[in-house]
A and B are shown apart, each in its own frame.
Chain A
């Protein structure tokens, strides 16, 4: 067929390939449009189409960058932010680590690495994460109870505290002794979560049954905080002041910007998962520089360590209200669920513990809904007896 008739003027304005060529002449095209037009009897008309389409692109207004991000913040607050405490967007371009730490029976384990601040966190961390309320402990040891399920605490650069965007308090000792580092502590009980913005802009998301100890303002030349339980961190960049997270067995030096820590006293090992960026894990006298998508584990009783590739989503999804299970054992799943919802889970049949599940559990629903999902997909049955979930095999 003759190409000239194939490409009459209306066929051309319909031809996506032709339009793409007008807009992006440098890109590869299935036809030699220049040649087709040069041989075309209606060259003049095509020329006009070309020019019109090209100039149409200059039409219209655009939003400046400030409006774009302002609008997103408004949207986010009423969509993503409404249900949970996370702020996914901010850590996308950053680094993520998870530390799962256990002190097991060795409660008074000595920190073997050098603790630059010399702070004895164990003596400070004596408030148990019990009770039903998130507890904020100020430097004078006074306690503040926060009633919401997903409490939001923010320190501004002067150390002034804002709670859930409504209440504002300040740690009075800041004014008296500005030079001394004042430590505050946030204790999150089982079944609750919290977000905490530190004075340098670093954001921590604390999972159920966790605590963090941190200075009201960072006055030293290194920033250092203590975490027990599980937390996701977005560390504000400051090349002058490196950021360290201290746990019972490990210390993490943040070279990138964001990471997630899980350090529960009843887990048998400490692990770090790096999603993006760069961190260095320090333990005993060794240090390990981790790459993205790697899982580092440290068995707390033997000191044995390993480094391997991992599916990072399995470790960080709690932050977004999901649990990703990839051939995950029921025993591990129920450990997490019992912390997350503060419920007791028991087994009638022990072989249920070893069953594995693959998929995604929505933790935004209540605990029973989660078990309904499990029951419908796996040969597992649940019953509730006095608030305790009892699992058995479906026969």
Chain B
């Protein structure tokens, strides 16, 4: 079912559609939320509040093309408000919001080189600005397009694109610094397929 159709079903009162929206996005929303804080309970509370609001205000909502993008914006707003309240600071500047990458299930690669690379990626990620990290997350993990990125990051289309470009550039540069890297991954893949 397309997002548009699912959303329309939801707006017209289908509780099944509401459940489907929850089921298809709950994991990704949580994953996204974890970048702003380590407090998993706070993230779950924000997700809870967000879905309640969504259901409550559904008669006032308009049509949208991408549900995931919409939910991510809403969740981010909730989390930042809650963190604000907690810190008793009126507003956090957008630039100051942390966006930390967490790699779990480490060392599941079957060889050392791959493990080293994975650790290196982790380290390199920390050298990016939080905004670049978030942009890369939204682009390559959430799979959103630049329009949606600019909406979530509150910047224009080109700026959103630049965040992704710069971020990827930095990641690639840093890969070069590591002498351990022997870039034969793709050749291996190609050969493997031919056999």
- Main secondary structure, interface of A, reads helix
Decide if A48 touches B104 in the complex (CB within 8 Å). Answer: no
- A38 to B35 alpha-carbon distance, docked (Å): 36
CB distance from A54 to the nearest CB of B (A): 9
In the complex, the answer to whether A57 meets B15 with C-beta atoms within 8 Å is no
The answer to whether B1 has its CB under 8 Å from any CB of chain A is no
Residue of B102, B143, B165, B190 touching A13 (CB-CB under 8 A): B165
- Which residue of A is nearest B53, CB measured? A79
User: If the complex has contacts A46-B186, A50-B185, A52-B171, are A57 and B52 also in contact, measured as CB distance less than 8 A?
Assistant: no
Complexed CA–CA distance, A51 and B183 (Å) = 10
Q: A52-B121, A55-B118, A89-B19 are in contact. Are A79 and B171 (CB under 8 A)?
A: no
- Interchain nearest-CB distance for B43 vs A (Å): 9
Closest to B181 in A: A48
* B15 and A52 form a contact (CB under 8 A): no
- Asked whether A88 lies within 8 Å of B15 as measured between CB atoms, the reply is yes
Contact call A71/B44, Cβ cutoff below 8 A? yes
| Contact in complex: A71, B48 (CB < 8 Å) | yes
Choose, from A61-69, A132-140, A290-298, A340-348, the stretch at the interface: A61-69
Which chain A residues numbered 66 to 112 have a C-beta less than 8 Å away from chain B?
67-68, 71-72, 74-75, 78-80, 86, 88-89, 92
Q: How far is the CA of A62 from the CA of B143 in the complex (A)?
A: 17
Q: Is the CB of B27 within 8 A of A62?
A: yes
| Min C-beta distance of A97 to chain B, whole Å | 18
In the assembled complex, A37 has its CB within 8 A of some CB on chain B: yes
Chain A 320-358 interface residues, beta-carbon cutoff 8 Å to B:
320, 322
User: Do B168 and A49 touch (CB < 8 A)?
Assistant: yes
A376 proximal to B (CB < 8 A) = no
Which residue on A lies nearest to B184, using beta carbons? A47
The yes or no answer to A362 lying at the interface (CB within 8 A) is yes
Interface residue? B82 (CB, 8 A) = no
Query: In this complex, what residue of A is CB-closest to B117?
Result: A51
**Total A-B pairs, Cβ < 8 A:** 119
Which residues in window 246-260 of A have CB below 8 A to B?
Answer: none
- Evaluate contact between B31 and A322: CB separation under 8 angstroms: no
Mark out the residues of chain A between 23 and 55 whose CB falls within 8 Å of any chain B CB in the assembled complex: 25, 34, 37-38, 43-53, 55
The complex places the Cα of A71 from the Cα of B43 at a distance, in Å, of 11
Q: Is the CB of B31 within 8 A of A61?
A: yes
B residues within 8 A CB of A59? Answer: 31, 101-103, 137, 141
Select one of B12, B56, B101, B108 contacting A79, CB under 8 A: B56
Contact B34 A88 (CB under 8 A): no
Shortest CB distance B71–A (Å): 13
Within 8 Å CB of B171, what residues of A? 48, 52
Q: Give A386 to B157 CA distance when docked, in angstroms.
A: 62
Contact yes or no, B31 A62, CB < 8 A: yes
A48, B136: Cα distance in complex, Å = 15
Contact of A75 among B51, B121, B168 (CB under 8 A): B51
B30 near A47: Cβ-Cβ < 8 Å: no
Q: Which of B19, B26, B141, B183 contacts A47 (CB 8 A)?
A: B183
Whole-angstrom CA separation of A60 from B48 in the bound complex: 20
A260 to B175 CA separation, bound complex (whole angstroms)? 62
Q: Give the residues in chain A near B189, CB-CB below 8 Å.
A: 25, 34
- Whether, in the assembled complex, A169 has its beta carbon less than 8 Å from a beta carbon of chain B, the answer is no
A-B residue pairs in contact (CB < 8 Å), sample of 9: A19-B143, A47-B183, A52-B168, A52-B175, A56-B136, A59-B101, A60-B141, A61-B34, A75-B51
Please name 11 further chain A to chain B contacts, defined as beta carbons within 8 Å, in addition to the given A50-B185, A71-B48, sorted by A numbering. Answer: A43-B186, A45-B172, A53-B140, A55-B121, A56-B141, A58-B103, A60-B35, A71-B26, A71-B47, A89-B19, A320-B15
Residues of chain B whose beta carbon lies under 8 Å from any beta carbon of chain A: 12-13, 15-16, 18-19, 22, 26-27, 30-31, 34-35, 40, 44, 47-48, 51-52, 55-56, 101-105, 108, 117-118, 121, 136-137, 140-141, 143, 145, 161, 164-165, 168, 171-172, 175, 183, 185-186, 189-190, 193
Nearest 3 Cβ contacts at the A-B interface: A79-B55, A60-B31, A88-B15
